[in-house]
């Protein structure tokens, strides 16, 4: 006789996971790798000129920004920061409104030759869109990373615009994370091979 757990597991659909992992794999492979190389070169050029990488997102994308900024700095030797400090975020959101805090943070902290990577799964987060507009006004190299609608407004604002063709938040975020970490590893590999 089957125990209760075995019955519960037998009613589950293991094909869900096969389909899910297939969707993640398909999303990952849809990227144009020339865009990843271009972003890598933009980051390396900024580094040569004394610039840094600023990475910004909301929610899961903010967590991704933290991970990436550490890996760029420690593993790839590229100075990188994010704006996830609670005091900074709450102060700027309180004083300027949540939709404008990224814009104001960039105005306060970004320097000439910086690269700004702005991540929004939907491509419709107004704080990220306003941040992209500010980065462009400042003449910074702006990279956008989005998903969902192909015509989302953020996708129009970067010099390179990575886009994930999915409307599932976790698939979009995981795809973004791996794409961006692959850039870190590409830079590490290039440096170890004697590149600039």
Domain regions of the chain by residue span: 52-192
57: part of which helix (H) or strand (E)?
Answer: none
Please state the rounded mean pLDDT for residues 174-191.
97
Compute the average pLDDT of residues 125-130.
98
* CA dist., res. 123 & res. 153, Å (int): 6
**Dist. CA 136–CA 15, nearest whole Å:** 45
Per residue in 27-59, pLDDT (tens digit) is 999 999 999 999 999 999 999 999 999 999 999
pLDDT score recorded for residue 111:
97
**pTM for this one?**
0.92
Please name which of 155, 115, 161 lies closest in space to residue 138, comparing C-alpha atoms: 115
* 140-172 residue pLDDT tens: 999 999 999 999 999 999 999 999 999 999 999
pLDDT in tens, 51-106: 999 999 999 999 999 999 999 999 999 999 999 999 999 999 999 999 999 999 99
Residue closest to 102 by CA, chosen among 92, 94, 117: 92
For residue 132, the tally of other CB atoms under 10 A from its CB is 27
Question: 52-192, what's its fold?
Answer: Rossmann fold (3.40.50)
- pLDDT at position 51, please? 98
Over range 173-183, report the average pLDDT: 98
Check residue 8 and give its pLDDT: 61
Rounded Cα gap, residues 28 and 31, in angstroms? 6
What does pLDDT average to over the chain?
94
pLDDT at 14: 76
- DSSP states along 28-42: HHTS-HHHHHHHHHH
């Amino acid at each position: 006789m089957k125990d209760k757990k075995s019955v519960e597991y037998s009613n589950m659909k293991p094909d869900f996971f096969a389909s899910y992992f297939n969707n993640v794999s398909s999303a990952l492979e849809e990227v144009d790798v020339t865009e990843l190389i271009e972003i890598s070169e933009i980051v390396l050029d900024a580094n040569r000129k004394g610039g840094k990488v600023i990475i910004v997102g909301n929610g899961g994308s903010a967590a991704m920004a933290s991970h990436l900024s550490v890996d760029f700095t420690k593993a790839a030797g590229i100075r990188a920061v994010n704006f996830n400090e609670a005091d900074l975020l709450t102060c700027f959101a309180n004083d300027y409104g949540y939709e404008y805090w990224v814009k104001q943070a960039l105005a306060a902290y970004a320097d000439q030759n910086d690269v700004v990577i702005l991540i929004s799964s939907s491509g419709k987060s107004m704080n990220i869109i306003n941040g992209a507009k500010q980065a462009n006004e400042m003449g910074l190299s702006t990279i956008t990373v989005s998903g969902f609608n192909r015509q989302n407004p953020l996708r129009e604002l970067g010099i390179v615009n990575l886009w994930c063709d999915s409307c599932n938040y976790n698939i979009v975020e995981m795809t973004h994370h791996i794409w961006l970490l692959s850039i870190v590893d590409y830079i590490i590999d290039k440096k170890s091979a004697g590149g600039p």
